Amino acid sequence: KQEVTQIPAALSVPEGENLVLNCSFTDSAIYNLQWFRQDPGKGLTSLLLIQSSQREQTSGRLNASLDKSSGRSTLYIAASQPGDSATYLCARMDSSYKLIFGSGTRLLVRP
Amino acid sequence: DVKVTQSSRYLVKRTGEKVFLECVQDMDHENMFWYRQDPGLGLRLIYFSYDVKMKEKGDIPEGYSVSREKKERFSLILESASTNQTSMYLCASTPASGGLIQPQHFGDGTRLSIL
């Protein structure tokens, strides 16, 4: 069974800290790896998408990396802010456009 | 910007009712998806569609059906609602061309309670 695991399940950090969220997957035959943000009671907002041929993507204070050989992706958030508080989800896409999601990391950035 | 609109944010229905959840996207996307999200279980794919009149079962299709009569609209149907279908339902879309390099776009979700 294809699985996606996110560690830690929850994280609390003081404002300004740099942090790393981890995502691991069991099948290296992925087409892309996507990171989403979800605010309480809302839908998902796409943050970054890394194609299988790429190693990383950057958007502002966010950087996501992909290592297919080890089945890992990381989301790096620089200089965290209280507004970054949310649940972060990673998902791998297979050839049929289906996404398989991890359970998420719930992030709290304390002022 | 892609807009995926789910018709209801909150819905309360009774056991045994037939329930319709509607999703509309405005970007002419071919692919549309229905997920449910439950604490501890994450997002799970119910059904998806690659084009009008087409549908494919996802990982948990039991108790659900779908309808795709128009390209922009993808409906999820609970044939006879049960309490274990109380959940957050999320709709998403992505284009067929470039669908592997473009993210899925999600609606805001429908929180459905079955009493």
For residues B20-44, one letter each, b for 16 or more C-beta atoms within 10 angstroms of the residue's C-beta and e for the rest, the string is ebbbbbeeebbbbbbbbbeeeebbe
Q: What is the mean pLDDT of residues B61-79?
A: 97
The gap between the terminal CA atoms of chain A, to the nearest Å, is: 40
How confident is residue A47, by pLDDT bands cut at 50, 70 and 90?
Answer: very high
Whether residue A42 lies within 8 A of chain B, CB to CB, comes out as yes
Q: Which residues of B touch A89 (CB under 8 A)?
A: 42-43
Q: How far is A50 from chain B (nearest CA, A)?
A: 8
Whether residue B97 lies within 8 A of chain A, CB to CB, comes out as no
Q: How far is CA A100 from the centre of its chain?
A: 13
Q: What is the mean pLDDT of residues A19-41?
A: 91
pLDDT in tens, A67-96: 999 999 999 999 999 999 999 999 998 877
- Report the residue of chain B nearest A104, measured CA to CA: B42
CA quadruple B95, B101, B107, B112: dihedral sign: positive
Across the interface, which of B42, B48, B107 has its CB nearest the CB of A101?
Answer: B42
B35 has pLDDT over 60: yes
Instruction: Find out whether A21 and A88 touch, Cβ atoms under 8 Å.
Output: yes
pLDDT in tens, B71-110: 999 999 999 999 999 999 999 998 887 666 788 899 999 9
Residue A31's pLDDT is 86
Across the interface, which of A32, A93, A101 has its CB nearest the CB of B43?
Answer: A101
Q: What is the mean pLDDT of residues B46-63?
A: 94
Whether residue B107 lies within 8 A of chain A, CB to CB, comes out as yes
With pLDDT > 90 as the criterion, what percentage of chain B qualifies?
82
Backbone φ and ψ of B13, nearest 5°: -130, 170
Whether residue B40 lies within 8 A of chain A, CB to CB, comes out as yes
Backbone φ and ψ of A50, nearest 5°: -110, 120
Cα angle value B25/B30/B32 (rounded, 5°): 60
